[in-house]
Amino acid sequence: MYEAESKALAAITMALPQEILHTFKKYKSVRALWEALENRYEGNVGIRNSKSKLLKTQFSVFKGFKNESLDDIITRYYHLMTELNNYSLKYTEPEIVEKLLDALPPKWDIYTILM
């Protein structure tokens, strides 16, 4: 177990960027290091809950901008969907498709896209 712990600690430590490595030198176990990294990059439970609520709101109000290209709308939408997935927020496929179609500005109606 000691060897596995040492290898895991070394692997995670080597993966850290040099700019932040000094911040995590004090952690001597993989579990403590992992929890510190998770807390730094994902936040505590309260922050994660707030981020989940924010992502749900962003999904519900997602709209394309008037002069935004279709590629830009889809790129923003995929980014939002990735964030939702990262926080384990799931929507059904019909909800996802409907939201994207509803988000298109008037110049991008379904007939324009299909033609």
Q: What is the DSSP string of 40-101?
A: HHH--HHHHHHHHHHHHHHHHH----TT--HHHHHHHHHHHHHHHHHTT----HHHHHHHHH
Q: How does residue 110 score in pLDDT terms, banded at 50, 70 and 90?
A: low
Residue showing tokens 């700019």: 19
pLDDT value of residue 80: 96
Tell whether 65 and 36 lie within a shared domain. no
pLDDT digit string (tens) for 3-53? Answer: 999 999 999 999 998 998 888 889 999 999 999 998 888 777 888 889 999
35 and 57 together in one domain: no
Residues 36 and 61 in one domain: no
Cβ-Cβ contacts under 8 Å for 64 (sequence gap 6 or more): 73, 103, 104, 105, 108
In this structure, are residues 64 and 79 in contact, taking their beta carbons and an 8 Å threshold?
A: no
Residues 52 and 107 grouped into a single domain: yes
Residue range 63-90, pLDDT digits in tens: 988 888 889 999 999 999 999 998 899 9
Tokens of 67: 């002069």
Per-residue pLDDT at 95: 95
Whether residue 52 sits in one domain with residue 17? no
What's the domain range around 12? Answer: 2-42
Q: Tell whether the model's pLDDT for residue 112 goes beyond 70.
A: no
Look up tokens 């939201």; give the residue: 99
Verify that 91 and 59 share a domain, yes or no: yes
Same-domain pairing of 14 and 57 = no
pTM of the model: 0.62
The 3-state DSSP class for residue 19 equals helix
